[in-house]
Amino acid sequence: MTVFEVVIGIEVHAQLKTNTKLFCGCSTQFGDRPNTNVCPVCLGMPGALPVLNRRAVEYAIMAGLALDCDVRHTSVFSRKNYFYPDLPKGYQISQYDQPICLGGHLDIRVDGVKKRIGITRIHMEEDAGKLIHQGSDTIAGATHSHVDLNRACTPLIEIVSEPDIRTAQEARLYVEALRQRLVYLGICDGNMDEGSLRADINVSLRPVGTEPFGTRTETKNVNSFRSIERAIHSEIARQTQLLTAGERIVQQTRQYDEATQTTRVLRDKEESHDYRYFPEPDLYPLVLTTQWIDTIRAMLPELPEAKARRYRDAGLSEFEIDVVLTEPETSQYLDQCIAAGAVPKDAAKWVVGDLNSVLKETKQSFKESKITPAGLVQLLGLIQSGKLSGKMAKEVLEKCVQTGQLPDAVVAASGATQISDTGELVAVVDRILDANLDVVEKVKSGKTNSADFLMGQVMKETQGRAKPDLVRRLILECIARR
Amino acid sequence: MTTWRSSAVELGKAFRNRSVKVADVVAGLWAHHDQVEPQVKSYLTTFQSESLAQAQALDIQFDRGDALSLLAGIPIAIKDNIHVSGVPTTCASQILKGFIPSFNATVTDRLQAQQVIVTGKTNLDEFAMGSSTENSSFHTSLNPWDTSRVPGGSSGGSAAAVAAGQVVVSLGSDTGGSIRQPAAFCGVVGMKPTYGRVSRYGLVAFASSLDQIGPFSRTVEDAALVLEAISGVDTHDATSSPRRSESYYSNLKPTVAGLKIGVPKELFGSEIEPGVKAQVVAALDLLKANGATWEEIAMPSLKEAVTTYYIIAPAEASANLSRFDGVRYGYRDSEADNLRDMFRRSRGGGFGPEVKRRIIIGTYVLSSGYYDAYYTKAQKLRSLIVRDFAQAFEKYDVIMTPTTPSVAFKLGEHESNPLAMYLADIATIPVNMAGLPAISVPCGLDQGLPVGLQIIGPAFGDQQILNVAAGFQELSQFPTRFQSPVMRSAQ
């Protein structure tokens, strides 16, 4: 039986996080009332003209630089012509034969091994609007359909990978890494639920050891990491079955159905459009000066790979690094703690652990966390100086997150610092020993476990404020002295 | 006496010294209009009562001695493919049925800021595609010199209105000659500014890389005055030039002596009717007698301009007109029972035959497999035309041609032969291909019908061609010599 090699290439559409649309001043806010963020330009009114959003160009340049692309000094917008009710002008303004970026790459780690995925190109384009069908999921069966043009003309970049991906896992890792990078650049919110990031996946099979690519299918608009893996698994299985049965793969555009976890055909190649691309006469070619590109290069934020390296050097575990890097604001929080004097490893332990879970419970993000990085550093200081036990610190943390008070203030208000004053504790210990002479005897006869009982009594007496290791030491010392 | 017959410059002075009231001029204008409109049919919509009310309000301001612009109170008509917010823009098409723009064109904004009086929207060939207004889906406008003839097009209504004295000045749009050709046919001044000099925002696009808005007037001064008001960079049009706009009217300086004129022989041979050529030669000789020189030059690429144009313009138009799909505005066929059918039937029912012809041509030349043979090749030819002009301007100050190969033709003359109609723009099309400024001024009569002289300048030489046109006006006195019978006959 022929064994097949899987060849995958991915086109990712990422919505750029600009405040306004690509060719007009309308807001890009998601979820507003339909057709409220619109104007003559994005409605495709006769007589309206596109004017390019400078910020969107900056963001596209940033993406190109962060993916090691060649940012082109001249790129050209074209018109991609087709009719659809969500496309107000009857054409989409996109880049075609002269995109803004060419030839970059992104490294992923597959089971700990680095793999480089080539980037063919990045081009800029406007998004279409949205159709809401009544009485059916598709336009075909609908009694009527509504058109919402809030999304029309929002800026997108399309990032096209080389066919370097071989497994569903690699595909997922690639899109995850790409998403992380764009989010770190601050140019895309990466929100796949809202469609800010969507992937078109090209899959083909070829007998292992052969060179030519097999016929591919393209699965459109897959919008979660899990769906990416499932769609690919399903498509590999389908193609393998067909090829094994001696049948041919038909070049198709397919759609992933989450309910059945399979892909189904959207249209055959024969039905594919002739988009009649030609240069957009309403916009002159986009010319970027070296100076502008260099200015943007200098402003690029630290990217995840560099951050990971820094954290690794500071002794963080791979798990901690993963958690911290998931969202840029988490690593930003950690970096602010470090900048405020925290030991990276200590701060990371709290950021990844208790703070992370307390914030989740209270539905706060790291950005809106009521305990600031300075607050957390203060808390770490209280632990360091022995004023708080770990357990007490967690309680203080919870209070801080609820009230927004600083740890110092919380501690001062409750008076609940750890008792680490030996004199004060010796008196309590003596009192407990006097009241439990039988236990003292047991300890003396070698049953040191019985000291735990005494310890519990001391903690009870001090309402848990005594520093545990100190108590244990004092108990043993006092008994020895008797 | 200053009346509706006067130029904008004269009216502006009279309004200021209060020798005439704006309201009287506007009332006189409408009285004349009511007499001649049935013969000429220039307009698609008029704003009679609004314009009278506006005129009265302006008189109060003039009486108070308010500092008003030179265009304040000047009646101006606007081609019906340029938006005036709140009133229908039809493009003389059925597909825009019921469409009312919610925004002003930038030119409308700028003119209204100067308190002009917009008298109405003028007739045109559907979507500015044509040379006679016969492609208007409403009616054909008629030439005020001979109402059995066309006024030219596509801005035929704007040209006829100025020639008939229905309005003082007007706006048109010019993609391949749509201002200059009707100006020549109707015996008035018509100017296409340099591409990018005037914002296209609010002009319903025909061919975006060629379209440009410009003025019609009876004098060169008036053209300069209107151009001064409408030109300049616009943040809504990325192709508008950031170059500082000039004070075309105040800087106007009639220029003839020492002028070096080139006349492309490709537009001065058998393709031009002898009667037309004779008038143009006479005009050139008049200039020569006053210190200019002219000679014929070779510009071989001009021969290919019409062919090139009929690839590029339809290609752009085919995309520009895609937005008329029945979804958001305009005509929608109500019989369709699915989406594709709705698109097809709405567009099939809404567009007229010439527009459909050009959409089909444009779609064809952009199709995969044909793109390189047509569109790419046309772009190469276009750059040759640009180069030929650039070389000519190294040697000559201006280039002159007959604006049209013939005088106004009869209604229906080219009905069965669109190609013959296309040749009416043989001398004007190359100018759009190169993005240059050009002005047509009346230079004589052939068979009792006006002949236009086209003066072409280098890019952003708008002031220069206005100066030359003003020089020719001084010598020929065309504004008083060439008045249409419809205007002359009025009491």
Integer Cα distance of B297 and B393 in angstroms: 11
Judged against a pLDDT cut of 90, whether residue A258 lies above it is answered with no
Chain A residues 263-282 with a CB less than 8 Å from chain B = 274, 276-278, 281-282
* Per-residue model confidence as pLDDT tens digits over B263-273: 999 999 999 99
Please classify residue B64 by burial: count the beta carbons closer than 10 Å to its beta carbon, then call 0-12 exposed, 13-18 middle and 19+ buried. exposed
Judged against a pLDDT cut of 90, whether residue A429 lies above it is answered with no
Instruction: State mean pLDDT over A413-425.
Output: 73
Q: Which two tokens stand for residue A378?
A: 């203060």
Active site residue B79: yes
Q: Do A47 and B203 touch (CB under 8 A)?
A: yes
Asked if B181 and B128 count as a contact pair (C-beta separation under 8 A), the reply is: no
Number of domains in chain B: 1
Integer Cα distance of A36 and A167 in angstroms: 43
Integer Cα distance of B59 and B232 in angstroms: 29
The 3-state DSSP class for residue B326 equals coil
**Identity of the residue in B82, B239, B315 whose CB atom sits nearest the CB atom of A284:** B239
Name the closest residue on chain A to residue B326, using Cα atoms: A85
Q: Do A47 and B205 touch (CB under 8 A)?
A: yes
- What is the pLDDT, as a whole number, of residue A328? 87
Please classify residue B293 by burial: count the beta carbons closer than 10 Å to its beta carbon, then call 0-12 exposed, 13-18 middle and 19+ buried. middle
Asked if B421 and B130 count as a contact pair (C-beta separation under 8 A), the reply is: yes
- Give the confidence band of A270 by pLDDT, cuts at 50, 70, 90: low
**Identity of the residue in A47, A85, A283 whose CB atom sits nearest the CB atom of B105:** A47
Residue at B285: amino acid letter: D
Out of B79, B121, B192, B277, the active site residue is B79
Query: Can you name the residues that pair with B169 across neighbouring β-strands?
Result: B76
Judged against a pLDDT cut of 80, whether residue A462 lies above it is answered with no
Q: Do B83 and A147 touch (CB under 8 A)?
A: no
Instruction: State mean pLDDT over B397-401.
Output: 98
The 3-state DSSP class for residue A71 equals strand
- What is the pLDDT, as a whole number, of residue B316? 98
The number of beta carbons lying within 10 Å of the beta carbon of residue B257 is: 10
Q: Please, what is the average pLDDT of chain B?
A: 96
The residue with tokens 């480089």 is: A116
Asked if B185 and B445 count as a contact pair (C-beta separation under 8 A), the reply is: no
User: Which residue out of B323, B334, B351, B383 would a mutagenesis test of the A interface target, given it has the greatest number of A Cβ atoms within 10 Å?
Assistant: B323
What's the DSSP call for residue B373? I
Q: B334 — contact with chain A (CB < 8 Å)?
A: no
Q: Do A139 and B339 touch (CB under 8 A)?
A: yes
- Give the confidence band of A428 by pLDDT, cuts at 50, 70, 90: confident
Q: A50 — contact with chain B (CB < 8 Å)?
A: yes
The 3-state DSSP class for residue A464 equals coil
- What are the backbone dihedrals phi and psi of residue B215, each rounded to the nearest 5 degrees, phi first? -95, 155
Distance from CA of B122 to the nearest CA of A (A): 17
- What is the pLDDT, as a whole number, of residue A427? 81
Q: Which tops the pLDDT comparison, B200 or A367?
A: B200
Instruction: State mean pLDDT over A209-231.
Output: 93
Residue at B79: amino acid letter: K
Q: Do B103 and A40 touch (CB under 8 A)?
A: yes
- Give the confidence band of A393 by pLDDT, cuts at 50, 70, 90: confident
Q: B316 — contact with chain A (CB < 8 Å)?
A: yes
| Domain boundaries of chain A, sorted by first residue | 4-291, 302-414, 422-481
- What is the pLDDT, as a whole number, of residue B390? 98
- What is the pLDDT, as a whole number, of residue A466? 77
Chain B residues 32-71 with a CB less than 8 Å from chain A = none
Name the closest residue on chain A to residue B96, using Cα atoms: A46
Contact pairs from chain A to chain B, CB under 8 Å: 103
B366 in any annotated domain? no
DSSP labels for B382-444?
HHHHHHHHHHHHHH-SEEEEESSSSSPPBTTTTTT-HHHHHGGGTTTHHHHHHT--EEEEEEE
Tell me the residue length of chain A: 482
B278 in any annotated domain? yes
Q: B94 — contact with chain A (CB < 8 Å)?
A: no
Q: Which two tokens stand for residue B290?
A: 């006053």
Integer Cα distance of B93 and A292 in angstroms: 46
Q: Do A47 and B89 touch (CB under 8 A)?
A: yes
- What is the pLDDT, as a whole number, of residue B287? 98
**Identity of the residue in A47, A79, A81 whose CB atom sits nearest the CB atom of B204:** A47
Judged against a pLDDT cut of 70, whether residue B491 lies above it is answered with no
Q: A299 — contact with chain B (CB < 8 Å)?
A: no
Q: B91 — contact with chain A (CB < 8 Å)?
A: yes
Q: Considering only A269-283, A378-392, B99-113, B373-387, which range has the smallest mean pLDDT? A: A378-392
In chain B, residues with a C-beta closer than 8 Å to the C-beta of A278 are 315-316, 319, 366, 371, 375
Distance from CA of B239 to the nearest CA of A (A): 6
- Percent of chain B at pLDDT > 70 equals 100
Q: Please, what is the average pLDDT of chain A?
A: 91
In chain A, residues with a C-beta closer than 8 Å to the C-beta of B319 are 79, 81, 89-91, 276, 278
B223 in any annotated domain? yes
Helix (H) or strand (E) holding B356: helix B353-366
* Per-residue model confidence as pLDDT tens digits over B57-114: 999 999 999 999 999 999 999 999 999 999 999 999 999 999 999 999 999 999 999 9
**Identity of the residue in A79, A147, A276 whose CB atom sits nearest the CB atom of B367:** A276
- What is the pLDDT, as a whole number, of residue A420? 67
Q: Which two tokens stand for residue B130?
A: 């044509």
B346 in any annotated domain? no
Q: Do A85 and B339 touch (CB under 8 A)?
A: yes
* Per-residue model confidence as pLDDT tens digits over B24-48: 999 999 999 999 999 999 999 999 9
Q: A64 — contact with chain B (CB < 8 Å)?
A: no
Instruction: State mean pLDDT over A327-355.
Output: 92
Integer Cα distance of A275 and A129 in angstroms: 18
User: Which residue out of A278, A284, A286, A287 would a mutagenesis test of the B interface target, given it has the greatest number of B Cβ atoms within 10 Å?
Assistant: A278
In chain A, residues with a C-beta closer than 8 Å to the C-beta of B367 are 274, 276
CA A263, A265, A267: angle at the middle one, nearest 5?
Answer: 145
Name the closest residue on chain A to residue B374, using Cα atoms: A278
- Give the confidence band of A446 by pLDDT, cuts at 50, 70, 90: confident
Integer distance in angstroms from the first to the last C-alpha of chain A? 84
* Per-residue model confidence as pLDDT tens digits over A5-37: 999 999 999 999 999 999 999 999 999 999 999
Q: Considering only A152-166, A374-388, B341-355, which range has the smallest mean pLDDT? A: A374-388
Judged against a pLDDT cut of 90, whether residue A96 lies above it is answered with yes
Proportion of chain B in helix, strand, coil states, percent, rounded to 5: 45, 15, 40
Q: A88 — contact with chain B (CB < 8 Å)?
A: yes
Distance from CA of A249 to the nearest CA of B (A): 24
Distance from CA of A254 to the nearest CA of B (A): 21
Query: Can you name the residues that pair with A201 across neighbouring β-strands?
Result: A10, A219
Q: Do A81 and B318 touch (CB under 8 A)?
A: yes
- What is the pLDDT, as a whole number, of residue B149? 98
Residue B200's nearest CA partner among B95, B128, B116 is: B128
B246 Rama class: left (phi>0) / alpha (psi -120 to 50) / beta: beta
**Identity of the residue in A90, A281, A284 whose CB atom sits nearest the CB atom of B316:** A281
Out of B137, B178, B240, B346, the active site residue is B178
Integer Cα distance of B341 and A133 in angstroms: 18
Active site residue B154: yes
* Per-residue model confidence as pLDDT tens digits over B278-290: 999 999 999 999 9
Residue at B31: amino acid letter: A
Q: B328 — contact with chain A (CB < 8 Å)?
A: yes
- Give the confidence band of A238 by pLDDT, cuts at 50, 70, 90: very high
- What is the pLDDT, as a whole number, of residue A135? 83
Integer Cα distance of B201 and B218 in angstroms: 26
Question: What letters, b where the CB count within 10 A reaches 16 and e where it falls short, cover A371-402?
Answer: bbbbbbbbbbebbeeebbbeebbbebbbbbbe
- What is the pLDDT, as a whole number, of residue A436? 83
Judged against a pLDDT cut of 80, whether residue A467 lies above it is answered with no
The 3-state DSSP class for residue A346 equals helix
Q: Do A46 and B91 touch (CB under 8 A)?
A: yes
Q: B261 — contact with chain A (CB < 8 Å)?
A: no
Judged against a pLDDT cut of 80, whether residue B311 lies above it is answered with yes
Residue B181's nearest CA partner among B204, B152, B147 is: B152
Residue B162's nearest CA partner among B107, B102, B222, B104 is: B222
Asked if A172 and A161 count as a contact pair (C-beta separation under 8 A), the reply is: no
Active site residue B192: no
Judged against a pLDDT cut of 80, whether residue B8 lies above it is answered with yes
* Per-residue model confidence as pLDDT tens digits over A144-202: 889 999 999 999 999 999 999 999 999 999 999 999 999 999 999 999 999 999 999 99
Q: Considering only A333-342, B9-18, B375-384, B482-491, which range has the smallest mean pLDDT? A: B482-491
CATH number of the domain encompassing residue B451? 3.90.1300.10
B182 in any annotated domain? yes
Q: Do A79 and B315 touch (CB under 8 A)?
A: no
Q: Give me the CATH code for the A422-481 domain, please.
A: 1.10.10.410
In chain A, residues with a C-beta closer than 8 Å to the C-beta of B324 are 46
The number of beta carbons lying within 10 Å of the beta carbon of residue A341 is: 11
Residue A287's nearest CA partner among A119, A71, A22, A447 is: A71
Domain region containing B74: 8-300+386-488
Q: Considering only A358-367, A450-459, B122-131, which range has the smallest mean pLDDT? A: A450-459
